[in-house]
Amino acid sequence: MSATPLNTPDVARLVMSRARWRFSEIVFWIAALATIFLVPSRHLILTEIAILGLFALSLDLILGYAGIISLGQAAFFGFGAYCAGLLATHQLVTEPVLALALAGAATAALGFVTSFLVLRGSDLTRIMVTLGIALILRELANRFDGLTGGADGLQGVTIEPLFGLFRFDMFGHTAYAYSLAVLFVLFLLARRIVNSPFGLSLRAVKGNPLRASAVGISVNGRMVAIYTIAAGYAGVAGALLTQTAQFASLDMFSFERSADVLLMLIIGGTGYLYGGIIGALIFKLMQDWLASMTPQYWQFWIGLVLVAIVIIGRERLEQLRGAIRKRILRLRPQKHAA
């Protein structure tokens, strides 16, 4: 390789190869699409999984790509949820997709404002500040019960049919197709963002902020940008839950929700965009399955899995996966990359 001179198209292709669609990715999304038709009886839980997957994706954007740890991502989830709820109850915007976009934009604005508090300081400060912001918002929602319904939750959320055509049915068919479509579109956008020059600079900032600033990158600027985007994603996830459940409650802001989403992301793995969705799937299915077997103790098993993952270490799991993949590949004729 070093003997032949490098040419621009080849090198450009090499740089862009990170963004190439892998076979496994295509399989993943075809399988997701297939669930709409193949398992209609499970659409309620699948809706929840899609929403939580989107929520975990928002956390992956800041943790996996910018190294910003948060224990209060539910602040944005809850805020988006109440935005969507209030838009519906006050009949301000009745078109679901438009309301969803507005809720996301409003939450992104909140993310932008709070980012300046979060960016200062160490990981510990960030954990505390994000946690604190979620607590404050929850308490505000509780206090202004005239607007939010307080501890009773926001009642009377009625969502108009999607595009004026598809009613949200009690089996969750419309809700699931809608949630999955939103997840897919926002996933595509996230995929675009992380593979862009902006995304590359985020990885530089995460890897070495000192050097990133020494090549002219505004480290704080990048963090504000991705934090704002991620807040918008979390807001859309919350809004989706309100729209599909036709209800919003204070627990959408809860610490447990922030902790759960971090758990899901850690289970699925950070920094490759699918971790949140896979983590949400594993988490929810495990919860569902364990709760039916040992209703009181399912959290024990979740805890055990988490400890195992952290102790064994993601890297070793990855090595294991790599080894298995090599085995499988060896069974197929090898195609050598240029």
Token pair 């190439």 in the structure block, residue:
20
8 binds another protein (CB under 8 A): yes
What mask of x and - would describe binding to another protein in positions 49 to 78, judged by CB under 8 A? ------------------------------
**Least separation in angstroms between CB 270 and another protein:** 12
Which residues in the 12-31 window bind another protein by CB under 8 A?
Answer: 12-16, 18-19
Which of 167, 211, 316, 321 is the binder for another protein (CB under 8 A)?
211
Which of 165, 210, 293, 331 is the binder for another protein (CB under 8 A)?
210
Neighbour tally for 6: CB within 10 Å: 9
CB of 3 or CB of 328, closer to another protein:
3
Residues 6+ apart with CB under 8 A from 213: 219
**Least separation in angstroms between CB 190 and another protein:** 10
Residue 271 has what DSSP assignment? Answer: S
Of 209, 227, 248, 278, nearest in space to 69 by CA:
227
At 33 the three-state DSSP class reads: helix
**Under 8 Å between Cβ of 275 and 151:** no
Start-end of H helices in the chain: 8-16, 23-38, 43-66, 74-89, 96-118, 123-143, 145-148, 173-194, 197-207, 209-214, 219-245, 255-268, 275-293, 298-312, 314-330
125 binds another protein (CB under 8 A): no
What mask of x and - would describe binding to another protein in positions 171 to 200, judged by CB under 8 A? ---------------------xx-xxxxxx
319 binds another protein (CB under 8 A): no
Residues 6+ apart with CB under 8 A from 80: 103, 104, 106, 107, 234, 235, 236, 237, 238, 239, 242
Which of 40, 156, 164, 207 is the binder for another protein (CB under 8 A)?
207
Which of 33, 136, 217, 309 is the binder for another protein (CB under 8 A)?
217
**Least separation in angstroms between CB 1 and another protein:** 6
**The dihedral formed by the CA atoms of 123, 127, 133 and 138, expressed in degrees to the nearest 10:** 170
5 binds another protein (CB under 8 A): yes
CB of 30 or CB of 210, closer to another protein:
210
Which of 47, 115, 179, 201 is the binder for another protein (CB under 8 A)?
201
Whole-number Å distance between alpha carbons of 175 and 34? 15
Positions that interact with another protein (CB under 8 A):
1-2, 5-6, 8, 11-16, 18-19, 192-193, 195-201, 203-204, 207-208, 210-219, 225
